[in-house]
């Protein structure tokens, strides 16, 4: 299956290093990576009453919602038809492409052919919800626009249309591990010699079906999201988008693009025990983490910081704490979950958290574990305190998802 | 493709197994969810004994038909290659709509009974990767697992993922599967999209699976793949299809598998003498149809000594066009 690269073919080489030349995010903490990072590092949380979707009747009505900046270059009519998911995605992609020097003077992608690997769990779900309502309420007007903006390929199409590029698009839906999978897959494509540059990341918007789904599972915290706290009582749903431009190192060098990190390891595994609950020993997650370390040819002690999945559900954090303890032991590796601040952004989580990892690598500042009162003993000494700094050479980002998806990424300075 | 195609599995309206692809499939009238009118549909029989058996597995008791279709197709493909190492076997699943049945049921329930009273059992089954999670658990597969989504053309993306894993030796074998179930709301959606206007799209359901291996060669291979031929409007479609076909063999036969508005594109771009007819034209299960068509092409090459290559187009109705060139020639194994 060769010949699918355009223009020309790319020959696989023995060593193809994958570097990050651009990144961007839109989170409930802020529009753009600097704003999100600044709020994160100062220990803020975005928790607030949810107003962008109807949540009346739910047990929990708080979450983390993003403020979407005005989108330029769209007519009012077209803007009104874009799903919230697309409106979250476009600013994050713009930031990533701009940083990678892949935008021309008119704000379009300077590469007309650009491969994408993108994660989502809910696509443009609010469009699907409105469509079902229209069928049940016998309202046929406007259905085409709803149908035309619901599915994942429509969001990718909007992205390609806005930035004027084409190319293969891979949309991974591995639940909450999908964002990390999208980045890992992009790196895999480059390592395999199947691409030189890939735009990758994830997006998800708050929507009624998913919010109610987590609420009826009683997985949402009625109080505060407290990852790795023994009194944790559930997660906080959020929304957002995170995107990275990955590039083969020589390719980046040739065009003079600066690299901000190296994707040095990627591991993924499937927990086959239960659809929603992770293995309580954290064994499949450990496998993914060790795979990533093996790919990076790295000892666990070389990883200075781990951005945990840390949803703050009783089951997730217990499994993760055990896996973390076995892999990193009592070494100096620091640990925190940023979901207490941003909320759980589902298909975007792995990508947003990878962006935070790059910022930690660059600045040496560590995202604090907020909302902590009574820490889990296994990881008590590893949890990051407000204001901590460290000399980091490599960091790990870990994600788990429904269906047993586990993913671990290692990002390094060199 | 840098791997051998070992085997395949089929769940379709004609029944189970690859021979069912050649049968004439039943077509029945089905009312749309709004009840405005009926449309022809061609659906996999959900009462088959095999599905009942799968539904008895403790993990599968609460799952919907899409999981049964998927696991049955995967089982057939694995049965065709009993010697492979399951712990080194990965899975890529390609969905168009995924778990539509439970998604609609869950959303209806929360609207009818109140948000907090929707079933916590239904919700996890609405997640795209639930069906493959069940299948991987029951079949004992230990390799990487991705669920991918998109229009029919995204089948090519699933094949690329398989190639990537095999090239990087992330897995020794990869199952590429697609599965779809049916819900009458689809008829309202497809009607709104204008896909049902001329009666040349008959919604369908089922599954298809292909098993590739880098450890074994085979006489049939996917020799070339054209992916990422994007169109922003139907008007752009012609250029996207021409671009997509230009990187493939220009003279070999093409499987006729367009439906709805892309039938016109097919007529416009591909000369009729190159088209290979299908036993069930217009039946559309999206990424599943792409899997069925890939398997059909393989079967044609296996049976017909005159044919050495076939192009299988994947007519995405919404975003892009892709195509695979399938050839009968010795496979080249990864160095």
What pLDDT shows up at residue B310? 96
Q: Which domain-ending residue is among B213, B246, B276?
A: B213
pLDDT digits (tens, 9 = 90+) for B127-180: 999 999 999 999 999 999 999 999 999 999 999 999 999 999 999 999 999 999
Please report, for residues A176, A231, A271, A360, A387, the alpha-carbon distance to residue A384 in angstroms, rounded to integers and kept in the order given: 23, 18, 28, 12, 9
Give residue B330's pLDDT band: very low, low, confident or very high (50, 70, 90).
low
Which residues in chain A touch residue B311, judged by CB atoms under 8 angstroms apart?
Answer: none
Give residue B217's pLDDT band: very low, low, confident or very high (50, 70, 90).
confident
B246 and B202, same structural domain? no
Strands A240-248 and A197-204 come out as antiparallel
B282 and B185, same structural domain? no
Q: Identify whether A268 is a catalytic site residue.
A: no
- B286 lies in which domain range? 220-328
**Which residues in chain B (228-247) have CB-CB distances under 8 A to chain A?**
228-230, 232, 247
Which value does ipTM take for this structure?
A: 0.95
pLDDT digits (tens, 9 = 90+) for A208-229: 999 999 999 999 999 999 999 9
Q: Identify whether A309 is a catalytic site residue.
A: yes
pLDDT digits (tens, 9 = 90+) for A249-280: 999 999 999 999 999 999 999 998 888 889 99
pLDDT digits (tens, 9 = 90+) for A163-219: 999 999 999 999 999 999 999 999 999 999 999 999 999 999 999 999 999 999 999
A236 touches chain B (CB under 8 A): no
Q: Do A174 and B165 touch (CB under 8 A)?
A: no
- Shortest CA distance from A178: residue in chain B: B146
Q: Which domain-ending residue is among B157, B188, B213?
A: B213
Number of domains chain B contains: 2
pLDDT of residue B276 exceeding 70: yes
What pLDDT shows up at residue B305? 85
Which residues in chain A touch residue B117, judged by CB atoms under 8 angstroms apart?
Answer: 216
Give residue B319's pLDDT band: very low, low, confident or very high (50, 70, 90).
confident
Q: Do B115 and A216 touch (CB under 8 A)?
A: yes
Smallest Cβ distance to B107: which of A129, A143, A170? A129
Smallest Cβ distance to B318: which of A151, A168, A193? A151
B143 and B15, same structural domain? yes
A61 touches chain B (CB under 8 A): no
Within 10 Å of residue A299's Cβ, how many Cβ atoms? 9
Give residue B250's pLDDT band: very low, low, confident or very high (50, 70, 90).
confident
DSSP states of B231-258: -SSHHHHHHHHHHHHHTS-SSS-EE---
Residue B186 forms part of a structural domain? yes
Within 10 Å of residue A7's Cβ, how many Cβ atoms? 6
pLDDT digits (tens, 9 = 90+) for A77-120: 888 889 999 999 999 999 999 999 999 999 999 999 999 999 99
B158 and B188, same structural domain? yes
B224 and B105, same structural domain? no
| Residue B203 DSSP label | E
**Chain A, chain B: beta-carbon pairs less than 8 Å apart:** 235
Give the span between the Cα atoms of A300 and A395, in whole angstroms: 10
B82 and B204, same structural domain? yes
Q: How many CA atoms lie within 13 A of A68 on its CB side?
A: 21
B266 and B242, same structural domain? yes
List, in order, residues 6 or more apart from A201 with CB less than 8 Å away.
A92, A93, A96, A118, A119, A179, A182, A183, A241, A242, A243, A244, A348, A351
Q: Do B128 and A175 touch (CB under 8 A)?
A: yes
Smallest Cβ distance to B193: which of A3, A147, A403? A147
- Shortest CA distance from B248: residue in chain A: A3
Q: What angle do CA A400, A225, A268 make, to 5 degrees?
A: 10
Q: Rounded to the nearest 5°, which phi and psi values hold at A324?
A: -60, -45
B208 and B107, same structural domain? yes
Give the span between the Cα atoms of A215 and A300, in whole angstroms: 37
B13 and B126, same structural domain? yes
What pLDDT shows up at residue B331? 43
Q: Residue B129: which CATH number?
A: 3.40.47.10
Please report, for residues A169, A200, B165, B175, B229, the alpha-carbon distance to residue A193 in angstroms, rounded to integers and kept in the order given: 17, 16, 12, 22, 20
B147 and B24, same structural domain? yes
pLDDT digits (tens, 9 = 90+) for A305-322: 999 999 999 999 999 999
Give the span between the Cα atoms of B82 and A210, in whole angstroms: 40
Rg (CA), chain B: 19
Using an 8 Å Cβ cutoff, are A229 and A374 in contact?
yes
Q: Identify whether A330 is a catalytic site residue.
A: no
**Which residues in chain B (294-323) have CB-CB distances under 8 A to chain A?**
316, 318-320
What pLDDT shows up at residue B1? 57
Residue B334 forms part of a structural domain? no
Predicted TM-score of the model (pTM): 0.96
The closest of A319, A272, A264, A270 to A292, measured between CA atoms, is A264
Q: Do A135 and B150 touch (CB under 8 A)?
A: no
B33 touches chain A (CB under 8 A): yes
State which H helix or E strand residue B189 sits in: helix B185-192
Report chain B's terminal Cα–Cα distance, integer Å. 13
CATH, domain A267-412, list 3.30.499.10, 1.10.3720.10, 3.40.47.10, 2.60.40.1180: 3.40.47.10
Residue B333 forms part of a structural domain? no
Q: Given CATH 3.40.47.10, say whether it is the number of domain A18-254.
A: yes
Using an 8 Å Cβ cutoff, are A217 and A276 in contact?
yes
- Shortest CA distance from B322: residue in chain A: A168
Using an 8 Å Cβ cutoff, are B258 and B123 in contact?
no
What pLDDT shows up at residue A4? 32
Q: Which domain-ending residue is among B213, B229, B257?
A: B213
* CATH 3.40.47.10 segments of chain A: 18-254, 267-412
A270 touches chain B (CB under 8 A): yes
Average pLDDT, integer, range B16-33: 97
B171 and B23, same structural domain? yes
Least confident of B70-74, B149-153, B248-252, B313-317: B248-252
Please report, for residues A179, B52, B246, B275, the alpha-carbon distance to residue B250 in angstroms, rounded to integers and kept in the order given: 39, 46, 7, 13
B109 and B22, same structural domain? yes
Residue B290 forms part of a structural domain? yes
């Amino acid at each position: 299956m060769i010949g699918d690269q355009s223009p020309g073919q790319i020959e696989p080489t023995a060593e193809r290093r994958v570097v990050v030349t651009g990144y961007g995010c839109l989170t409930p903490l802020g529009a753009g990576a600097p704003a999100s990072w600044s709020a994160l590092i100062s220990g803020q949380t975005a928790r607030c009453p949810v107003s962008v979707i109807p949540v009346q009747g739910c047990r929990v009505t708080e979450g983390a919602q993003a403020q979407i900046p005005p989108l330029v270059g769209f007519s009012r009519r077209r803007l009104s038809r874009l799903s919230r998911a697309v409106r979250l995605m476009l600013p994050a992609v713009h930031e990533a492409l701009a940083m990678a020097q892949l935008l021309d003077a008119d704000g379009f992608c300077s590469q007309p052919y650009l491969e994408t690997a993108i994660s989502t769990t809910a696509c443009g779900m609010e469009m699907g919800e409105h469509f079902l309502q229209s069928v049940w309420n016998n309202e046929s007007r406007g259905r085409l626009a709803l149908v035309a903006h619901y599915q994942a390929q429509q969001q990718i199409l909007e992205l390609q249309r806005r930035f004027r590029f084409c190319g293969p698009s891979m949309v991974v839906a591995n639940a909450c591990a999908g964002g990390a999978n999208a980045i890992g897959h992009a790196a895999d494509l480059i390592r395999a010699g199947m691409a030189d540059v890939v735009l990758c990341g994830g997006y998800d918007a708050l929507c009624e079906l998913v919010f109610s789904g987590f609420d009826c599972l009683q997985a949402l915290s009625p109080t505060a999201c407290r990852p790795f706290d023994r009194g944790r009582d559930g997660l906080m749903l959020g929304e957002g988008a995170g995107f990275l431009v990955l590039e083969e190192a020589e390719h980046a060098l040739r065009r003079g693009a600066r690299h901000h990190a190296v994707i040095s390891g990627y591991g993924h595994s499937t927990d086959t025990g239960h659809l929603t609950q992770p293995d309580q020993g954290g064994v499949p997650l450990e496998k993914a983490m060790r795979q990533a370390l093996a790919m990076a040819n790295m000892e666990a002690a070389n990883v200075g910081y781990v951005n945990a999945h840390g949803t703050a559900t009783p089951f997730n954090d217990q499994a993760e704490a055990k896996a973390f303890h076995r892999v990193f032991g009592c070494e100096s590796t620091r640990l925190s979950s940023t979901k207490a601040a941003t909320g759980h952004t589902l298909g975007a989580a792995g990508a947003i958290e990878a962006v935070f990892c790059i910022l930690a690598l660059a600045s040496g500042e560590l995202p604090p574990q907020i909302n902590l009162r009574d820490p889990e003993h296994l990881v008590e000494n590893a949890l990051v305190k407000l204001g901590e700094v460290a000399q980091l050479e490599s960091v790990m980002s870990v994600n788990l998802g429904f269906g047993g998806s586990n993913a671990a990424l290692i990002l390094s300075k060199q | 493709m840098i791997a051998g195609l070992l085997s395949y599995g089929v769940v379709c309206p004609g029944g189970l197994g690859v021979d069912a692809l050649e049968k004439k499939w039943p077509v029945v009238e089905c009312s749309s969810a709004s009840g405005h009118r009926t449309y022809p549909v061609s659906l996999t029989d959900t009462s088959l004994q095999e599905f009942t058996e799968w539904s008895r597995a403790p993990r599968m008791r609460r799952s919907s038909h899409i999981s049964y279709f998927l696991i049955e197709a995967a089982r057939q493909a694995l049965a065709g290659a009993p010697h492979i190492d399951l712990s080194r076997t990965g899975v890529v699943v390609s969905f168009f709509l995924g778990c539509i049945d439970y998604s609609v049921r869950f959303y209806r329930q929360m609207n009818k009974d109140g948000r907090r009273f929707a079933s916590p059992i239904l919700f996890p089954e609405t997640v795209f990767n639930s069906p493959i999670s069940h299948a991987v658990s029951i079949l004992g597969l230990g390799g990487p697992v991705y669920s991918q989504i998109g229009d029919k053309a995204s089948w090519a993306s699933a094949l690329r993922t398989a190639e990537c894993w095999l090239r990087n030796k992330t897995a020794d074998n990869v199952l590429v599967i697609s599965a779809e179930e049916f819900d009458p709301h689809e008829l309202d959606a497809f009607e709104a999209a204008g896909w049902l206007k001329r009666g040349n799209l008959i919604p369908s359901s089922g599954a298809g699976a292909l098993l590739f291996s880098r450890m074994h060669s085979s006489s049939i291979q996917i020799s070339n793949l054209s992916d990422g031929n994007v169109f922003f409007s139907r008007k752009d479609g012609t250029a996207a299809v021409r671009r997509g076909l230009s990187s493939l063999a220009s003279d070999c036969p093409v499987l006729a598998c367009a439906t709805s508005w892309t039938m016109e594109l097919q007529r416009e771009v591909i000369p009729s003498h190159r088209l290979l007819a299908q036993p069930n034209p217009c039946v559309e299960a999206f990424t599943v149809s792409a899997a069925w068509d890939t398997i059909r092409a393989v079967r044609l090459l296996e049976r017909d000594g005159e044919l050495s290559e076939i192009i299988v187009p994947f007519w995405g109705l919404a975003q892009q066009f892709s195509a695979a060139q399938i050839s009968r020639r010795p496979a080249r194994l990864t160095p």
